[in-house]
Each structure stands twice: as C-alpha cells, then as structure tokens.
Copies of this chain bind each other. A is one copy, B any other.
Amino acid sequence: GEPLFDRVAFIGIGLIGSSMARAIAKLGLAREIVCSARSQATCDKALELGLVARASTDAASVVADADLVVLCAPVGAYAAIAPVIGPRLRPGAIVTDVGSVKQAVIRDVAPYLPEGVHLVPGHPVAGTEHSGPEAGFAELFENRWCILTPPPGANEAAVDKVAEMWRRFGSNLEFMEASHHDKVLAITSHLPHLIAYTIVGTATDLEEDTKSEVIKFSAGGFRDFTRIAASDPVMWRDVFLNNREAVLEIIQRFNEDLTALQRAIRWGEGDKLEELFTRTRAIRRGVIDAKQA
C-alpha cells in the first residue's frame, strides 16, 4: 500500500513498539522509522534488529522531523517524556500512544503539545508476557482490537490516519471515551493481572519445600497464572498507579464475590457453587464466539 507517514518516531521500543515497527516496515506504511529508548543497549538492539534507521536515548532529537510519534514506554514515563518532546514537535505532527490506561495519558501528555499537534491516544488489546524489542512480531495485532480514545474536538484527519494504520495491521477498531476505556480494561485486563500477581505472590511466600512442589504440580491451573504474572513489573506498576480508582472499584466487587464463594464452601452450599460455575461457562462461549479465545 501507499505509505501513510513520512517518518515515524517510536519513544520506547519494546514488545509493542517493535511489533508496530515490524508491521509498519512489512506493510510499507512509512518512509523511515526512528526511535528513542531509555537505554543505549535498547537503541543498539533496535538498530541491530534492523527495526529503525536511527536510534537515540535523546527523545527530543528523534521526534523533530516526525509526522507520527508513537509513545510506547510504560505510562508512568509519559509525564517526563512529554515536556522533553513537546517543544520539538513540528506543526501537523500526530502524537499517538499504546498505553494500557488512557485518562492518565491524556492528563500527562496533552498539556505539553503545541498548537497544531494532534493527540490520538490508543491501546492495542494484544500482548504477551514477554518484553523488549526482540519479543515483538508484526502479526501481534491481527484480529485483535485496538481502542482509540480521541479527546473531544480531536482532529478528524489525524484520527482517521491513526485508525487506518491499525486497520492495515489487521486490527479491529473501536472508539471510546478514555474514562470508559479505563473502566472496561480494569475488568478485562488490570484485575486479571493483579489477581495473577497476587496468587503467584502468595505461593512465593510459602516455605521452600512447598514452593518447589507448587512449581512441580503447577499444571493443575497455577501455571497459567504464572505466565500472566511474568509480565513486565514496571509496565504493570504504572498501570495500577494510573488507573487507581477503576481498579480499586473492581477489586471491591471481586472481593465481595469471593467472600460469597468462601461462605458457600464453608457452609457446604453445593448448589450455589454449581450455579455459579455453570453461569461462567456462558462467558467462555461468548469469548469463543467473538473469536478472542
């Protein structure tokens, strides 16, 4: 297809950034791709992998001539990145991102963007438990949803261009208000990760003997949680710190439901257990029907 962009600059190039860079290169969506990362090692790795034409630890220097800037760092880093890149953005440039929370991103980035620079926040609902530029692959976004949360009054042409990029990646597009995004993702992503971290954490506190048995016999269900709880610690720290209210509210509901199950077990109320365990099967069918399994 026709290139959509002249120069795309990634700020952060780990799992998500490098997957996008690979997809852009594969599909010929940009004439040049450049990047910045926190460490020189990651910049070197991105060059070595042939993901980018230029890489620098100085974010300001790579955004200067970019018509698309994609923030792909942990969301907690945005507040420091935005004031650095803001003054160097050229008029008409689009700034988008892939952060797992959206209200905080708008809060931290929008104030630093000059007139004529367009903010189109986004979140691809796709990922793995691996991180870094070597973990990415061009097909990561195929048949997955990408949610865009343009603030009221966002530039339509800019939104269309970002949407078109995701469509070319093979994603399905969805538009939402940032606050709604943060509520829905608190349930579908943030709570599951928190619970997985908790349960694996509970196991790390056991005596050594029991801990090695837990690992040995993990095929009974536990191992699936260990995979989720192997996700990047900094990324997830930032998600929870930046979606505090929605996450705390859903933990509260989860807690109430767990307490009810606990009581049912304590009092031997088999009917209640069976009723819930039957109800949850319908959701699985929904996930399979929606081709998200």
Chain A interface (Cβ < 8 Å from any Cβ of B): 76, 100, 125-127, 129, 144-145, 147, 174, 183-185, 187-206, 210-231, 233-234, 236-238, 240-241, 244, 247-248, 250-251, 253-255, 257-258, 261-262, 265-266, 268, 270, 273-274, 276-284, 286-287, 290, 292-293
User: Which of A214, A276, A280: most chain B CB closer than 10 A?
Assistant: A280
Q: Is the CB of B241 within 8 A of A265?
A: yes
Complex: A148 Cα to B198 Cα, angstroms: 30
Some 30 contacts from A to B, beta carbons below 8 A apart, are: A127-B220, A145-B217, A145-B219, A184-B217, A187-B203, A187-B206, A187-B210, A188-B220, A189-B221, A193-B221, A198-B258, A198-B261, A201-B257, A201-B276, A201-B279, A204-B279, A214-B283, A215-B286, A226-B287, A230-B281, A230-B284, A233-B281, A234-B274, A237-B277, A240-B273, A241-B268, A241-B270, A248-B265, A251-B262, A255-B258
Q: Is the CB of B187 within 8 A of A254?
A: no
Q: Is the CB of B274 within 8 A of A233?
A: yes
Q: Is the CB of A230 within 8 A of B127?
A: no
Name the B residues within 8 Å of A284 (CB-CB).
129, 200, 226-227, 229-230
Give the residue name and chain of the B residue nearest to A269 (CB).
B241
Q: Is the CB of A185 within 8 A of B226?
A: no
Q: Is the CB of B244 within 8 A of A265?
A: yes
List the 6 closest pairs (A to B, CB-CB), nearest first.
A189-B220, A233-B277, A192-B221, A230-B284, A229-B280, A200-B280
Q: Is the CB of A221 within 8 A of B229?
A: no
Q: Main SS of the interface on chain A?
A: helix
In the complex where A197-B261, A277-B197, A282-B204 touch, is A228 in contact with B217 (Cβ < 8 A)?
A: no
User: Which of A192, A216, A218, A220: most chain B CB closer than 10 A?
Assistant: A220
Name the B residues within 8 Å of A293 (CB-CB).
223, 226-227
Complex: A257 Cα to B195 Cα, angstroms: 10
Q: Is the CB of B201 within 8 A of A280?
A: yes
Q: How far is the CB of A238 from chain B (nearest CB, A)?
A: 8
Complex: A126 Cα to B216 Cα, angstroms: 12
Complex: A183 Cα to B42 Cα, angstroms: 44
Complex: A230 Cα to B283 Cα, angstroms: 8
In the complex where A127-B220, A192-B221, A217-B125 touch, is A184 in contact with B200 (Cβ < 8 A)?
A: no
Q: Is the CB of B185 within 8 A of A192?
A: no
